[in-house]
Structures are given as structure tokens and as C-alpha cells.
Amino acid sequence: MDAFTQLFEKGRNGPCRPWPRAEVSAAEWTALTGHLVAGDLVLMGLWGDAGAAHMALREEGGGRLAVATCPCPDGTFPSVARHHAPAARLERTVRDLFGLVAEGAPDPRPWLDHGRWGVRHPLGTSVRAEPAGDANVVLAADAYPFLAAEGEGLHQIPVGPVHAGIIEPGHFRFSCYGETVVRLEGRLGYVHKGIEGLMAGADIARAARLAGRQSGDSTVAYALAFCRAVEAARGIVVPERAHALRAVMAELERLANHLGDIGGICNDAAFALMLAHCGVLRELVLRASARGFGHRLMMDKVVPGGVACDLAPEGVAALRALVAHARAAFPALVELYDNTASLQDRTVGTGFTRPDHVRQFGAGGYVGRASGRAFDARRSLPYPPYDRLPFEVAGRTEGDVNARVWVRIREVEESLGLIVRLLDTLPAGPVLAELNGTGEGRAGEGLAVVEGFRGDVLAFVALGADGRVRRAHLRDPSWFQWPLLETAIEGNIVADFPLCNKSFNCSYSGVDL
């Protein structure tokens, strides 16, 4: 029996639903790391807790998920990143927030902690005393040592955290040879709000609202992931109609974001016409969402137990009208994208992301699917109502900006079809489960994976006996996409960075927590 099956079996009687969680020894933890390196397991997340580190793992090609927990009585656990690079920033985060040190980690620099909070290890309880004068503990923002790029004629371009456009803050350090980028290193953490600190001790209604604000563009996906984890922990059965309405919202969110991205990518290639037309379609999606669900971004509409409001017949009509309009207008835009040589000249071959990197990092969303990784949580880890809905998972193999645009185009078309199918088969009945009495007063844990527009969002929620959140962690898909952006820009010119960046459209807020 391999290490994963052992973990899976050991966790069967554990506290976590629907996927198991079990404590493992340091040796077992390291054995599991070996499977990550070998590629038969995919890292789905790594996060800290009071005196322990958790690691969510998925069988490559299989539908099984499990969480390994490594107790850290002395404040340390064996580093995963030492052997498996995708864990690096996650381990740095665990250290910053909990003070748990990944023994043998390749990168000792802090990540989220910029030395501005006035506290260290704000979520930690088992803080290991750092040796005095450890330069890595509290660093002035300006003193962050970026990775070196050395050679004759190299120069650095620092960008951010305040950027030129209306986007989130982050710092990018380019090392260039002439116009060519030799190395890019990102430094994030600027929008760290302490979400996990605020969630701990919160009741589930407030925690769901917080979850919906970890990354506002994915508010439906985040709220859905959080609620599914809570429902798993407490054994709440969500009504069928609520499942369907949640999926309608999720597809509307995907539509709005993909339309915005397609326009934005073309605009970053100086083709404003696409932005104008996609912007109109995006606005229509938001207005139809507001008419159907009462909020343009549908914030706080997915709640534990179901959805906050039913979809009225007028809402159904508004959504049907939206789909009809989008289906009529979108093909001309696709044709415009496909037939504009000056635009293709910018997107084809730009920002190539290697398929082996995508596999190693377990990168989801359009980043993974444009580089030949077929993973889509709606298909690979199916949840209602997608487990009974026919739909195509878009995929390309070229791995460039163009491929990421095409994956989005196909997903826009697919989402339009899904919305129609969901509305056609909308079950009648209640939209919110009765929460009273279901699992209340019983501690429990839930794990959920939901496909947001930019990839899979993982949620882990541990509820205390008082019904409040003891620990919640939501892992943004961008954790495994940001590092790949740094590889995608290598060898491209500086002027193509906005294009590459927009084609990834990673979340800052989602990973800054």
C-alpha cells in the first residue's frame, strides 16, 4: 500500500469530510513529499494550524483527495519545498503567520510579513524562539533581498506596488538584458488583511462573508467553496434548487471575468476595440446578475445551507435574454480576434508556459488548460450539479497567451450553454436548508474544492463545538500560477509583460490573505 492510500485509510474515521485527514509522522510526511516529486500526487494546498502543518494532496488522474497533518511539537516540520518547489511560498506563509518553520526550506525569506504588523506570527500559538539577530525575521520593506541576476549589461526595473493601471498592488522586479527579461521575481503580500485571523472565532455567517471577500472577482467561487466545506463538516443537505442556482451564479461569474479578461488582454496588445465590445458584454452580465440575484458581483448570495435569495421568473427572463444577446454578439468578436493579424502577432508564441511546469505546480484554470493539463474541478472532482451536467472542458497545448485567450473563449461559450441548461432544468423547492439542529454543537471539519474562473479554490474549515470557525483556510488558484508567470515572461520583452500578466490574471488579494 503506498503512502497516499495509507493516509486515506487512516483518515477514514478522522474528523474531516468528505475527504479524510490524518496525522502523519515526519517520515510519512517526507514520503508523501516524494510522491509529489514523482508526480503521482498533486499539491492542493499547505497551511498552518495551532502546532501543526496541513498538506492537501490529490492523486494525479484520480478523484481522491486527502489531508496530511504533521504535528509540530517543536515548531518545525520537514520542508516540502526543499524537494518540491510549488510549496515554497506556502511554507513561507506558514512561518509568517504561525511561526512554524519548514526544516531545510530553500528560501528563508519572509513572504506576507513585511515587518509592518506590529506582531509576529499573529496566528501562531507555538512560537519557536528565533535566534537573536536573525536577519530574516523582520525586514524593512526596502531591504527584501531579491534573487540575483548577474552579468554584464544586466539592469533591474522595479515596478510597484502602486501600478499605472487600475489593478491590485504587488511588486515586480525585472532583471533585463536590453529589452529582454532575464528574470522576474514577484513580491506580494501588500494586500494582506489578516482574513484567516478574522475568520478564527467568527460565526459561519460572518466567516462566509469574509470568504466572499478574499478575492472579490471570485466571490461566488470562494463563498461556494467555504459553504461546501461547512456543509460537509456539519452534514447539511443543500436543496437541489440551491445547487442549481449556485451553479448559475458560478457560471455568470466565469462569464463576466472571462469577458473582461479577453477584452483586457487585447487592450494590452493595443487593440482597444475588443475591450470596448467585451466591456459591453461584461456589463450586461453584471446587470443581469443584479436583476437575477440582487448584486452585480453576487456577493453574499451563496450562504451556508443554500443561497440567500431565490431566482424570480423575471430574473430567469433577464438571464435568458442575456444569453441570447451574448450568443448573438460573441461570435463576431471571436472572429475579430482570430482575423486580426496585428493582434495575433502579439499573442501567438508570447508568454509560453511549459507543460511540465504546469504539471509540477498543479496549475489549474486557463493557465493549466492552455498548457495541456486537463484538470477542471467541475469534472475531475465533480460536485452538484456538475456531476450530472454535460459540458466540455476546454483545452489547448500551445501554452502561450493566445492559447489562454482561446481557452477563455471556449469557456465563455460553454458557460452560456450551461446557464441555459441549468435554467431549463431548474428544480422547484426551497433554496435554503434548515440549519438549526444539523450538526450544531458538534465539532467537525470539511474540505471542498470548487472551480472558480481562474482555477480551483480549495477550502478547509474546522468548526469548534460552539459552532464557530476554529480555523479556515482558502487556497487561491493563483498560489500555483504566480510562480509560472515568472517562467512565462523569461526571454520575452518587457513590453509584453502586461500582456502575459493579463493572460494569467492572477489574484493578489486571493494569495495575500
Partner 1 sequence: MRKLLLQGLFKAPLTERAPEDDAVARLAAELDGAARARLGRSLSIREVDAGSCNGCELEIHALGNAFYDLDRFGIRFVASPRHADVLLVTGPVSKNMAEALKRTYDATPGPKWVVAAGDCAINGGIFAGSYACADGVGAVVPVDLRIPGCPPSPVDVLTGLLALVEAGKG
Q: Which residues bind partner 1 (CB under 8 A)?
A: 112, 114, 116-119, 122, 141, 161-162, 164-169, 189-195, 197-198, 206, 209-210, 213-217, 219, 260, 273, 276-277, 279-280, 282-283, 286, 296-297, 299, 332, 336, 339-340, 507-509, 512
Which of 169, 148, 181, 481 is closest to 350 using CA atoms?
A: 181
CB of 293 vs partner 1, minimal distance in Å: 14
Instruction: Using the minimum distance from each CB to partner 1, give the nearer residue, 49 or 261.
Output: 261
Q: Minimal distance in Å, beta carbon 25 to partner 1?
A: 33
Closer residue to partner 1 (CB): 132 or 140: 140
For partner 1, the closer of residues 29 and 271 by Cβ is: 271
Residue 457 has φ and ψ, to the nearest 5°, of: -100, 125
Residues 6 or more apart whose CB falls under 8 angstroms from that of 501 comprise 268, 485
Q: Which is nearer to partner 1, 171 or 369 (CB)?
A: 171
Task: Please report how close the Cβ of residue 8 comes to partner 1 at its closest, in angstroms.
Answer: 35
SS3 149: coil
Cα dihedral sign, 35-39-42-47: positive
Question: Residue 388 contacts by C-beta under 8 Å, 6 or more apart in sequence?
Answer: none
Cβ of residue 327: shortest distance to partner 1, in angstroms? 17
DSSP run (H or E) holding 446? strand 444-452
- Tell me, letter by letter, the H, E, C secondary structure of 502-513: HHHCCCCHHHHC
CB of 12 or CB of 193, closer to partner 1: 193
In the complex, minimum distance from the CB of residue 149 to partner 1, in angstroms, rounded to a whole number: 25
Q: Where are the alpha helices (DSSP H) in 294-312?
A: none
CB of 28 to partner 1, least distance (A): 34
Within 60-165, strands assigned E span 65-71, 76-78, 101-103, 154-159
Cβ distance to partner 1 smaller for residue 141 or 324 = 141
Check residue 131 and report its DSSP letter.
P
Nearer to partner 1, 139 or 389 (CB): 139
Closer to partner 1 by CB, 230 or 275: give it: 275
Residues contacting residue 149 through CB under 8 Å, at least 6 positions apart = 156, 175, 182, 183
Task: Give me 376's grid cell.
Answer: 477542471
Cβ neighbours around 500 below 10 Å, total: 24
Is the Cβ of residue 307 or residue 333 nearer to partner 1 in the bound state?
333
Q: How far is the CB of 400 from partner 1 (least distance, A)?
A: 23
Cβ at position 469, least distance to partner 1 in Å: 14
Do the bridges between strand 65-71 and strand 21-23 make them parallel or antiparallel, or are there none, so unpaired? parallel
CA distance to 19, 23, 116, 164, 365, per residue, from 13 (Å): 10, 12, 42, 53, 32
419-425: list long-range contacts, CB under 8 Å, 24+ apart: 419/248, 419/251, 419/252, 419/255, 419/319, 419/323, 420/320, 420/323, 421/389, 421/390, 422/244, 422/247, 422/248, 422/251, 422/385, 422/389, 423/248, 423/316, 423/319, 423/320, 425/244
CB of 45 to partner 1, least distance (A): 20
Question: Which residue number, 27 or 119, has a Cβ lying nearer to partner 1?
Answer: 119
Minimum distance from residue 305 beta carbon to partner 1 (Å): 20
- How far apart CA 439 and CA 426 sit, in angstroms, is 28
